Structure 1
Amino acid sequence: MKVRSGNVIGFELNSQEPEKAAEFYSTVFGWEIAKPKWDYRAISTGDIEHGGINGGIAKGPHDFPHGARIQIEVDLIDEAILKATENGAMIVREKMEFDEFYLAYLVDPTGIGFGLIQNK
């Protein structure tokens, strides 16, 4: 089974004080930060054509209260989850459905958290 894509397409910063984090990153780096939607603030870091990626800031949930996670795009999220777990990953959050994509959170065998995204 081959999981296609694998591009890092975003990041998520989790904080117990997301408003304070948003103010910090906006002030220090000039990032444009949107108003919250689902307690998530979308971030535009700048020019994507020159290597930048966008992400978001959220209030960290109980299973990931603070820190950063990359988001990896895959063509088939169910296959990617299966392949990851067969290779030692643990599922932190099962596949969730949103308007435009599916999202799941896993932890690799060394403890590094990451998200998988499949666009609809």
Structure 2
Amino acid sequence: MKLDKPVAGGPCWAEVGTPDLKAAEGFYGELFGWRAETDSRAEMGGYTIAHVGQLPVAGIVPLGAEPAPVTWFVTFAVADVDATVERIRSAGGTVVFEPGEVPGMGRFASVADPQGAGFHVWQARGFEGAGLLNEPGSLGWVELMSRQPDRSVDFYTTVFGWSVNASERYTQWGLDGADFGGMVTMDDKFPPEVPPHWLPYFAVADVDASATTATEAGGTVLMDPTTVRDSLRIAVLRDPPGAMFGVYLAGAEV
């Protein structure tokens, strides 16, 4: 990721929904060295912010009794949540949760693109999002899994004004020349029951060691550590309840 801080239109946060908050704190603490702080306000429902040192890097959301997805959600910063939600609707997306206030922090909505890939949009009002990007233990890349890539390009360029750097091998998303994410076309290798989705990647100092640590902590390696080009080494992992995410070698050009 060429972005070193949250900017309008770019990824600013990632959060995982989990049925067991303490277990998630233990797993990600072991894997990334995160230090967790739970918001004590009743209206926050146990929302927990993970830190690297003193800097916030991700959210951990305790799921209630009602069925809810055990998954990672990517959040994009916007200047105006309400205006962005209207663009999403006009472009064929859906709104899962209408815009609302997070007291003392910002304004938020949960949405999905026309293929159903969910994400969040965030208008900062006191909390900008990740205080660290592209460093070990922090968000460094976001990747869309899409079954209709042309439709995805139309949607996201319309909603966010992203630049598109496409080759036969891969499509990358960017803002003013700063690429922060990519898109993978879901071919026959993806089971039909797997829906389009966003996948966050976190920077780590050692991809192979992280895959081993995740397994020892009860997680699963979905894609073994692989060098995709030059020094870029990646792996895709799953935490014990089933939330998928990626890791990549910090400092490598994505």
TM-score (norm 1): 0.82
Partner residue, 2:237: 106
Structure 2 gap ranges (5+) = 1-29, 34-135
Partner residue, 2:153: 22
- Give how far 1:43 is off: 0.6
Between stretches 63-72 and 100-109, larger displacement belongs to 63-72
Q: What letter corresponds to residue 226 of structure 2 in structure 1? A: M
Q: Secondary structure at the match of 1:11?
A: strand
| Compared CA separation, residues 111 and 3, structure 1 to 2 (3 A) | closer
Equivalent residue for 1:31, pick from 138, 152, 162: 162
- Give how far 1:68 is off: 0.8
Partner residue, 1:92: 222
State whether residues 44 and 55 of structure 1, in contact with CA within 8 Å, keep that contact through their aligned partners in structure 2. Answer: yes
Measure, in 2, the Cα distance between the counterparts of 1:2 and 1:94. Answer: 16
- Give how far 1:47 is off: 9.0
Partner residue, 2:204: 74
State whether residues 92 and 105 of structure 1, in contact with CA within 8 Å, keep that contact through their aligned partners in structure 2. Answer: yes
CA RMSD of aligned residues (A): 2.5
Partner residue, 1:56: 182
Report matched runs for 1:5-20 at 5 Å: 5-20=136-151
Measure, in 2, the Cα distance between the counterparts of 1:105 and 1:86. Answer: 15
Equivalent residue for 2:213, pick from 83, 90, 109: 83
Between stretches 98-107 and 56-65, larger displacement belongs to 56-65
Q: What letter corresponds to residue 29 of structure 1 in structure 2? A: F
State whether residues 233 and 248 of structure 2, in contact with CA within 8 Å, keep that contact through their aligned partners in structure 1. Answer: yes
Q: Secondary structure at the match of 1:110?
A: coil
| Compared CA separation, residues 86 and 35, structure 1 to 2 (3 A) | same
| Compared CA separation, residues 37 and 6, structure 1 to 2 (3 A) | farther
Greater RCO, CA 8 A, separation 6+: 1
Q: Secondary structure at the match of 1:62?
A: coil
| Compared CA separation, residues 2 and 94, structure 1 to 2 (3 A) | closer
Deviations 1:24-53 (A, max 9, x none): 101111011111341x211114697xxxx8
Q: How many residues align?
A: 115
TM-score (norm 2): 0.41
The structure that has the greater radius of gyration is 2
